Amino acid sequence: MTGTSLRTYLITRLALVVPMVLILLTLVFLLLRVAPGNPIEAALGGHVPPSVVKPIEHRLGFDKPILTQYGEYLWNIVRGNFGTTITDNRPLSQIIAQNGAATLELTFFAMLIAIVVGVLIGLVAGRYRDTPIDIGGRLFGVFVYATPPFFLGLMAQLVFGVWLGWLPTSDQASPLTQALLQTHTNIYFVDAIWDGNWGALWDVVQHLILPASTLGLITAGVFIRLTRVNVIRTLRDDYIEAARARGIVERRVVFSHAFKNALVPVITVVGLNLAILLGGAVLTEETFNWPGIGHELVLYLQDRDYTAVQGIMIVFALVVVAVSVLVDFLNAFVDPRIRY
Amino acid sequence: MALGRATKPIREASGIARVMFWSGVTITLLFVLMAILAPVISPYGFNQYESNGHRFPQLAHPSSAHLLGTTVQSVDVLARVIYGTQTELEVVAIALAMSLVVGVPLGLLSGYFGGILDRILVLIMDAIFAFPYLLIAIVIAFVLSTNSSIGGGILTAAIAITAAYVPLYFRVVRNHVISVREEPYVDAARALGARPRTVIRKYVFFNVVQNVPPIATLNAADAILLLAALGFLGYGIQPSQGAEWGYDVSRAVSDATNGIWWTGLFPGLAIVLLVTGLTLVGEGLNETINPVLRRRRFGRFEFEPVPGAVEEAE
């Protein structure tokens, strides 16, 4: 019985992906293609004679009726063709492979830092509610939430990069490492381990520390808040009172009953936070000159390259949808109540 | 009367929630005051780089002439921080008003009437909600500043922020309406023959709208961060139109490599302080209004652990 209902749930959930993707893709199209103005002219920098604009328009299919363009746009995405940039003729697949890998490296370690720091502080703050520990933990949570990643990053650069001179403040690795490292996955951290190149790994880790900590700490605020509320709520539940009434030692009530159940929603939160994390990643990459996909987005925005912006937005949309499905699947496996 | 009932939880709040709430209110009010009095208290204009024909020094250390130093363009940092308050509060107020005006009625109608329109709206709003809202705001600010006659500026920034937040209000209001709609007193009103307009206005609206202040305050905090992020990426306020803290921090990134800290530190701190103030107000409101977290001064009930309890056997 459980097997079928789980499968039914998963299929229903997957079916819901289609309208969500379609809506996001349509919105991107509406915003970037249907909006007034000439994207080609914008990309070429203002007033250009029609003799220059027309051929490019034709090549990109921008002179066709809007519905035809929409159909071709969707069909291309289905075929996995996200387009080519106008300004430097780079296929989006290349941007995803190279810059996407850098973003993945940054966001993965940032999320790790956020979860560890956020959940620990949240658990302790919730357990010792209304004590100075709680106040300190919450103020820290509010403070990191209130700090924009680019400001924290700037201060980190100033202190650890310029004044103390401990860590590099820009790029993903030193030029030497970038030249020597074999690219297998484009994720430098993985590539360095792949080759067993420990010198390069050390260099990569050094470059990673400041950006990942910046993005991680900023994201940790949400985890602190949610974990704390969950612990408070769980500590109030009937089964906790029942455990106490049975005479179980408080420490045990807290650790094996309350904390465990308070942590289940954290999976969901990780998924929900991805949207925040991706936004923060754009700013962190910009601050640390990290060659990720957000950094590219900002560059292409400055160049007014509509197809590049559109392609990157499609990538973000697909990632967001994929993660939301993944989170729901995980939850369905962990918590049987969701399936019914 | 209605106000008295609405503010009752705040007056009954105790302990930390109270302290947090009032310190948040104090910080926020100080910033509001700073914005209003900017022309009086600011030593110079936000764009001023000379006085009496003498150009201010470039990148001057904080001193008695320039309390927080000067930037590369010789502009006084203190003046930019003070005038920045005006910009931030103005944009966020416009953006919040617009997202409330769009999001709340949509949520009310969609939740109350249900049906196919509700389904479609929920699908669209959920899809947008799942998307990183910074990216939504960036794209909208980008399109508006490239194409339209509006250009970059306060309205563009406000529209970009609004678009990012409408789904939030829609969801909160709609979901609450769904649960309120089935309450006996709403049913009773309907059974008595009240028209939908009357039911929504008299019974549903006030119940739902209570949820909005904490969200709107936390949202205001978030909107400041969003505006600063847009400014940092160059899609906020044009430098000639007004001072914007995020833009100032972005200018300071190149200063930092030379060890110049005052151009970035002070606008950044201003962002952190204002957002902290608004967050504290929002959290305080949340903690007092949200029954799950509420702790009143009276009727406090705590389950004390049994002394000398034994370890549970496996």
Least-confidence region, from A310-314, B193-197, B250-254: B193-197
**Which chain A residue's Cα is nearest to B286?**
A229
* Of B67 and B78, the one with more pLDDT: B78
The reply to whether the predicted model has a pTM over 0.90 is no
Task: Choose from A84-88, A167-171, A172-176, A212-216 the range with maximum mean pLDDT.
Answer: A212-216
Mean pLDDT value across residues A136-145:
85
Q: What's the confidence (pLDDT) of residue A338?
A: 56
Residue B313 pLDDT class (50, 70, 90 cuts): very low
Q: Which residues contact B14 (CB under 8 A, 6 or more apart)?
A: B295, B296, B297, B300
Q: What's the confidence (pLDDT) of residue B224?
A: 93
Least-confidence region, from B131-145, B232-246, B292-306: B292-306
Q: What's the confidence (pLDDT) of residue B126?
A: 84
DSSP A31-81: IIIISSS-HHHHHHTS---HHHHHHHHHHHTTTS-HHHHHHHHHHHHHTT-
Residue A211 reports pLDDT greater than 90: yes
* CA atoms of A227 and A260, how far apart (whole Å): 11
**Which chain A residue's Cα is nearest to B295?**
A130
Q: What's the confidence (pLDDT) of residue A92?
A: 87
Mean pLDDT value across residues B168-189:
83
Q: What's the confidence (pLDDT) of residue A119?
A: 86
Chain B residues touching residue A142 (CB < 8 angstroms): 276, 279-280, 283
**Which chain B residue's Cα is nearest to A147?**
B272
Mean pLDDT value across residues B124-132:
85
Q: What's the confidence (pLDDT) of residue A301?
A: 87
Residue B294 reports pLDDT greater than 60: no
Least-confidence region, from A153-162, A216-225, A272-281, B118-127: A272-281
Q: What's the confidence (pLDDT) of residue B11?
A: 60
Least-confidence region, from A113-127, A209-223, A260-274: A260-274
Mean pLDDT value across residues B102-128:
87
In a mutational test of the B interface, the residue from A152, A158, A306 whose CB has the highest number of chain B CBs within 10 Å is A158
- The ipTM (two decimal places) reads 0.83
Reported as type and span, the H/E element at residue A324 is: helix A306-334
β-partners of residue B310 are A248
Tokens of A324: 């939301």
Residue B310 pLDDT class (50, 70, 90 cuts): very low
Chain B residues touching residue A317 (CB < 8 angstroms): 131
Nearest Cα residue to A173 out of A184, A186, A158, A164: A186
Q: What's the confidence (pLDDT) of residue A339?
A: 52
Residue B213 pLDDT class (50, 70, 90 cuts): confident
Q: What's the confidence (pLDDT) of residue A152?
A: 92
Which one-letter amino acid corresponds to residue A284?
Answer: T
Residue B290 pLDDT class (50, 70, 90 cuts): low
What one-character DSSP code corresponds to residue B54? E
* Of B91 and B4, the one with more pLDDT: B91
Chain A residues touching residue B228 (CB < 8 angstroms): 148
Q: How distant is the Cα of A203 from the closest Cα of chain B, in angstroms?
A: 20
* Of B64 and A320, the one with more pLDDT: A320
Tokens of A265: 């929603």
β-partners of residue B162 are none
A23, A279, A304 member nearest B132 (Cβ): A279
A150, A169, A229 member nearest B232 (Cβ): A150
Longest dimension (CA), chain A: 86
- Tell me if chain A has a CB within 8 Å of the CB of B120: no
* CA atoms of B265 and A189, how far apart (whole Å): 32
Size of the A and B interface in Cβ pairs below 8 Å: 174
Contact B131 A232 (CB under 8 A): no
Contact B133 A232 (CB under 8 A): no
Residue B219 reports pLDDT greater than 50: yes
Q: Which residues contact A59 (CB under 8 A, 6 or more apart)?
A: none
Q: How distant is the Cα of B256 from the closest Cα of chain A, in angstroms?
A: 6
Chain B residues touching residue A135 (CB < 8 angstroms): 16
Residue B283 reports pLDDT greater than 90: no
Mean pLDDT value across residues B209-215:
79
* Of B1 and A127, the one with more pLDDT: A127
- Tell me if chain A has a CB within 8 Å of the CB of B169: no
Report yes or no: B277 and B79 within 8 Å, Cβ to Cβ: no
Residue A171 pLDDT class (50, 70, 90 cuts): confident
Mean pLDDT value across residues B201-223:
81
Q: What's the confidence (pLDDT) of residue B306?
A: 41
Chain A residues touching residue B143 (CB < 8 angstroms): 31-32, 35, 37
Least-confidence region, from A85-89, A91-95, B136-140: A85-89
Map out the domains of chain B with their CATH numbers.
2-50+63-289 (1.10.3720.10)
Q: What's the confidence (pLDDT) of residue A4?
A: 57
Mean pLDDT value across residues B101-107:
90
Report yes or no: A224 and A140 within 8 Å, Cβ to Cβ: yes
The long-range contacts involving A129-137, CB below 8 angstroms and separated by at least 24 positions, are A129/A232, A130/B15, A130/B16, A134/A228, A134/B16, A135/B16, A137/A224, A137/A228
Contact A298 B229 (CB under 8 A): no
* CA atoms of B167 and B207, how far apart (whole Å): 20
Q: What's the confidence (pLDDT) of residue B302?
A: 40
Reported as type and span, the H/E element at residue A295 is: helix A293-302
Contact A279 B221 (CB under 8 A): no
What one-character DSSP code corresponds to residue B301? -
Residue A256 CB neighbour total at 10 angstroms: 13
Least-confidence region, from A316-320, B22-26, B194-198: B194-198
In a mutational test of the A interface, the residue from B121, B122, B142, B168 whose CB has the highest number of chain A CBs within 10 Å is B142
Q: What's the confidence (pLDDT) of residue A106?
A: 92
Contact B272 A143 (CB under 8 A): yes
Report yes or no: A217 and A236 within 8 Å, Cβ to Cβ: no
Task: Choose from A41-55, A156-170, B64-78 the range with maximum mean pLDDT.
Answer: A156-170
* Of B100 and A199, the one with more pLDDT: B100
Mean pLDDT value across residues B111-123:
87
Mean pLDDT value across residues B76-80:
83
Name residues 15-34 of chain B within 8 A of A (Cβ). 15-16, 20
Report yes or no: B245 and B271 within 8 Å, Cβ to Cβ: yes
Q: What's the confidence (pLDDT) of residue A17?
A: 85
φ, ψ dihedrals at A290, nearest 5°: -80, 125
Q: What's the confidence (pLDDT) of residue A216?
A: 93
Mean pLDDT value across residues A92-114:
90
Least-confidence region, from A83-92, A329-338, B203-212: A329-338
Residue A220 reports pLDDT greater than 60: yes
